[in-house]
Amino acid sequence: MEKKLKVAALRNGTVIDHIPSDKLFKVVSILHLDTCLNQITLANNLESAKIGSKGLVKISDRALAEDETNKIALIAPNAKINIIRDFEVVEKRPLVLPDEIREIVQCGNPNCITNNQAVSTRFLVLKDDPEVRLKCFYCEREVKIEEVKIK
Amino acid sequence: MSNNSLVSISDYSKEEILDILDSAAVFEASPNQNTLAGKVIATLFFEPSTRTRLSFETAVIRLGGKIIGFSDAATSSSSKGETLKDTIQMVSSYADAIVMRHPLEGAARYAAEVSPVPIVNAGDGANQHPSQTLLDLYSILKTQGTLENLEICLVGDLKYGRTIHSLIMAMSHFNPTFKFIAPEELKMPDEYKVFCRKNGISFSESTELNDNFNDADILYMTRVQKERFQDLMEYERVKNVYTLKNDMLINSKPNLRILHPLPRVTEIDPDVDKNEKAYYFRQAQNGLYVRQAIMSKVLKPLIPKGE
């Protein structure tokens, strides 16, 4: 009951729940919500039984595409994405890491061409090991997914 | 993007690698040919590398091609702030292929992405230098008669040495056994050990050179650079321990050959040079034939039949 009072219900759109509090604004940034004109509700530092403190994003009248939501897998792999229509959850969308990630990740190698000239970044996602790594398409350096730098 | 670029040794399959080595043997037997007649090749050296540049340019000239380019970024428009993309777009409108050395890692892959003509990577920072790897393979094949099932001992800077890392990748097709000999500061990075395990390649590690290479077929030496060390006392110690001397070769196998990407400083004593097992100068010479093979392959679809 208390939960409903804190965050108003959504008629149509996308809800991203269970975002770790320190990742909320990264999610806002990689989804470019700062320039989105739809009604958006952000909430942060809500109590969560699962992760302690969580953030939440509600975007009205816009169902995010899969290639958009999959970017979230990079920084908040346990976030929950629900697509809402007429107050009902019509889709619980699993987060799947894409095979390739463009632009949102910064290469950790200071000597990489992408950190020195106007070249947008491109990373291949290596999923064959238990520990997922990203490999810079240009300088070929690999980085563990939890050490990825988001632009 | 031209799909015919050579940026990284992993761009080539085992078959393509073997094709290059076959073709290099043909050029060695008969280096002066006309396969690149009428072709213009640009050599863009954004940082100096005299040996590599002369080797590529000689390869092109011996195949009948012509060279344009620069040997130092200070004399090029990049010193005026031109981006790599603009330089590549401009040069690719003049030349049929571009050989490029650049101080930034990933520069060659990016150039290959924006260029309509093939890019041959002649070194991008600490990342890749595939023609060096192919000439290493050619030297190993020539001296051992095979690339299969060899014991290869890698010595020196195994942490930053790009030739070493590329060699491991390339040799992974041929069931090698590796011995990694490096001081603690310059040990083989974990990702390459993981790579070996994943590909079923056995390896061992040691921190002392001594005569640890008595079972080896190839002894691949690299330069231990002073600037890699935080503790200069440690550098002085390592420098002396990692010097190969002629008398250390007494118990080595008769087929052993010593390779080094050059330039060498103190890691191979000059008294080794006269030993028949010293192969590093021949190795550098092999670079010419391998680069002839690379340039021919890269430009092959552009060369009309009958030429």
Q: Which of B63, B66, B65, B76 is nearest to B103 (CA)?
A: B76
Enter the DSSP assignment of B30. Answer: -
CATH assignment at residue A20: 3.30.70.140
Last residue of a domain, one of A93, A112, A141: A93
Let me know whether A85 and A113 are in one domain.
no
Catalytic residue status for B133? no
Q: Count CA atoms within 13 Å of residue B3 on its CB side.
A: 1
d(CA B92, CA B98): 7
A&B contacts, CB < 8 Å: 55
Active-site position among B39, B101, B223, B260 = B101
Residue numbers in B near A113 (CB within 8 A): 84, 102, 104-107, 109-110, 124
Can you point out the beta strands (E) in B189-256? Answer: 202-206, 218-221
Last residue of a domain, one of A93, A114, A140: A93
The total of structural domains in chain A comes to: 2
Domains B9-128+287-302 and B131-276 share a fold: yes
Let me know whether A28 and A89 are in one domain.
yes
CATH assignment at residue A116: 2.30.30.20
Q: What is the mean pLDDT of residues B166-191?
A: 94
pLDDT of residue A51: 87
Q: ipTM of this complex > 0.85? A: yes
* Alpha helices (H) in B225-279, listed in sequence order: 232-241
A77: number of Cβ within 10 Å: 14
The minimum CA-CA distance between B166 and chain A, rounded to whole Å, is 12
pLDDT of residue A125: 94
Let me know whether A80 and A131 are in one domain.
no
Q: Which residue among B106, B128, B194 sits closest to A113, beta carbon to beta carbon?
A: B106
Q: What is the mean pLDDT of residues B37-63?
A: 96
- The band of B1, judged by pLDDT with boundaries at 50, 70 and 90, is very low
Q: Are A115 and A70 in contact (CB under 8 A)?
A: no
Let me know whether A109 and A75 are in one domain.
no
Let me know whether A8 and A74 are in one domain.
yes
Domain B9-128+287-302 adopts which CATH fold?
Rossmann fold (3.40.50)
d(CA B53, CA B74): 16
Active-site position among B43, B52, B133, B143 = B52
d(CA B268, CA B245): 7
pLDDT per position as a tens digit, A29-61: 989 999 999 999 999 999 988 889 999 999 999
Contact at CB, A113 and B128, closer than 8 angstroms: no
pLDDT for residue B40 is more than 50: yes
* Superfamily of B131-276 according to CATH: Aspartate/ornithine carbamoyltransferase (3.40.50.1370)
Let me know whether A143 and A125 are in one domain.
yes
**Residue range of the domain that includes A40:** 2-93
Q: What is the mean pLDDT of residues B143-168?
A: 94
pTM value is: 0.87
- The band of B2, judged by pLDDT with boundaries at 50, 70 and 90, is low
Last residue of a domain, one of A46, A71, A93: A93
pLDDT per position as a tens digit, B133-143: 999 999 999 99
Let me know whether A46 and A88 are in one domain.
yes
How, if at all, do strands A100-102 and A122-126 pair?
A: antiparallel
Residue numbers in A near B105 (CB within 8 A): 109, 111-113, 138-141
B65 φ, ψ to 5°?
Answer: -85, 170
* Alpha helices (H) in chain B, listed in sequence order: 14-29, 50-62, 84-92, 107-114, 130-144, 162-171, 190-198, 232-241, 280-299
A136 φ, ψ to 5°?
Answer: -65, 130
Q: Which residue among B83, B85, B127 sits closest to A139, beta carbon to beta carbon?
A: B127
CA B282 to each of CA A119, B151, B238: distance values in angstroms, whole numbers, following the listed order: 40, 20, 27
Q: Which residues pair with A135 in a beta bridge?
A: A124, A142
d(CA B67, CA B65): 7
pLDDT of residue A58: 95
Domain ranges of chain B: 9-128+287-302, 131-276
